[in-house]
Amino acid sequence: SETEADEPAANSGVTYEDIGGLDEELELVREMIELPLSEPELFRRLGVEPPSGVLLYGPPGTGKTLIARAVANEVDAHFETISGPEIMSKYKGESEERLREVFETAEANAPTIVFFDEIDSIAGTRDDEGDAENRIVGQLLTLMDGLDARGEVIVIGATNRVDTIDPALRRGGRFDREIQIGVPDEEGRREILEVHTRGMPLADNVDVDGIARRTHGFVGADLDAVASEAAMAAIRDRPTDADDRRDWNRNPTVRKTHFDAALASI
Ligand code: ATP
């Protein structure tokens, strides 16, 4: 069977410290996902069903995958990913089998987070979609309803378009909780920039607050690209003289002009 997407969570190394902004969202994530995974017996004692599915919805590049990886890593849970488009194409004809396998592995390795990226590609409203999607949604519902390790296997579905998700998937006991992951505001952008420049030797004239102010509409993925592009601009800008370059290499700096160049190109 195909297992190249399966990775032990511990290897991802992503922590909550790697997520900028999203404080309130992370609170919800911890309550809805971390708590049932780490203390399922608490829910049982209180006589409530822990969630088996949570939807993260919002524009691309805002940190949905990052959150799923971070929470899995933080609670030392096994991590499985399913890509909606991939299961529809690559596993065409074997999609249901593939889903069953993922859930089997998930239960065997519980606690597990199953991250279902672009879930809308399988879970469009059933009555106006083709037979294939029908069957896959049906299979997913069956698998989620049948989870023995309830609370210890949580499916995080990610989508840009929550309104196109099959209502059956959003009913109680399935993806009955939703967390919106929105475009960051200025403060969020500043925190994201701080994450991505944490390990960077910045010149004193780099004004992270100013960059945050100037990047209205940028999501985390864009800000990540700004930081990488600035570092690349700094490398391109190295002294040409061999001795000077050696000194620079030992003690590199990313300056304001490099961020300006990055912002102009992204
Ligand atoms: P998609 O819908 O395209 O899968 P996504 O919401 O899952 O998007 P991620 O894959 O989590 O987005 O983000 C892509 C990259 O952008 C991350 O690896 C990270 O470098 C950066 N990023 C996004 N959001 C944040 C954030 N809130 N804090 C820090 N980095 C972020």
The pLDDT tens digits of the residues spanning 59-90 come to 999 999 999 999 999 999 999 999 999 988 87
Give the pLDDT band of residue 206 (cuts 50, 70, 90): very high
ipTM: 0.97
- How many angstroms separate the CA atoms of 155 and 83, rounded? 12
**For position 11, what pLDDT does the model report?**
56
User: Directed axis angle between helix 131-145 and helix 95-108, to 10°?
Assistant: 20
pTM given for the model: 0.89
Rounded to whole angstroms, the Cα distance separating 247 from 21 reads 36
DSSP one-letter code for 148: S
Mean pLDDT of the chain: 89
157 lines ligand 1 (CB under 6 A): no
Range list of H helices, the chain: 23-29, 35-38, 40-46, 64-74, 84-89, 95-108, 131-145, 167-170, 186-197, 208-214, 220-236, 242-250, 256-265
What's the confidence (pLDDT) of residue 124? 58
First to last CA, the chain: 40
Closest ligand 1 atom to residue 221 Cα is 16
Q: Please give the full DSSP string across 22-49, using - where no structure is assigned.
A: -HHHHHHHIIIIIHHHH-HHHHHHHT-P
Contact between 179 and 173 (Cβ < 8 Å) = no
Copy the structure tokens of residue 253: 């700096």
* Whether residue 261 has pLDDT greater than 60: yes
Q: What is the arithmetic mean of pLDDT over 141-163?
A: 88
pLDDT at 193 over 60: yes
pLDDT (tens digit, 9 = 90+) per residue, 219-260?
999 999 999 999 999 999 999 999 999 999 999 999 999 999
Distance 20 CA to ligand 1 centre (A): 10
Mutate to test the pocket of ligand 1, among 224, 226, 229, 266 (most ligand atoms within 8 A of CB): 224
Ligand 1, from 65, 67, 191, 228: best to mutate by most atoms within 8 Å of Cβ? 65
Most ligand 1 atoms within 8 A of CB, residue of 15, 22, 66, 73 to mutate: 66
Residue for token pair 């029908």: 134
Cα separation, 266 vs 253, whole angstroms: 21
Please give the share of the chain, as a percent, with pLDDT higher than 70.
90
Give the range with max mean pLDDT: 23-37, 49-63, 134-148, 190-204: 190-204
40 within ligand 1 shell (Cβ under 6 A): no
What number does the ligand 1 atom closest to the CA of 160 have?
A: 2
pLDDT of residue 266: 87
Residue 247 · residue 223 · CB < 8 Å: no
Question: Coil, helix or strand for 86?
Answer: helix
Q: How many Å lie between the centroid of ligand 1 and the Cα of residue 61?
A: 4
Residue whose C-alpha is closest to residue 200's, from 211, 215, 216 = 211
Residues 201-226, mean pLDDT to the nearest whole number: 98
The residue whose C-alpha atom lies closest to atom 18 belonging to ligand 1 is: 66
Identify the residue with better confidence: 121 or 101: 101
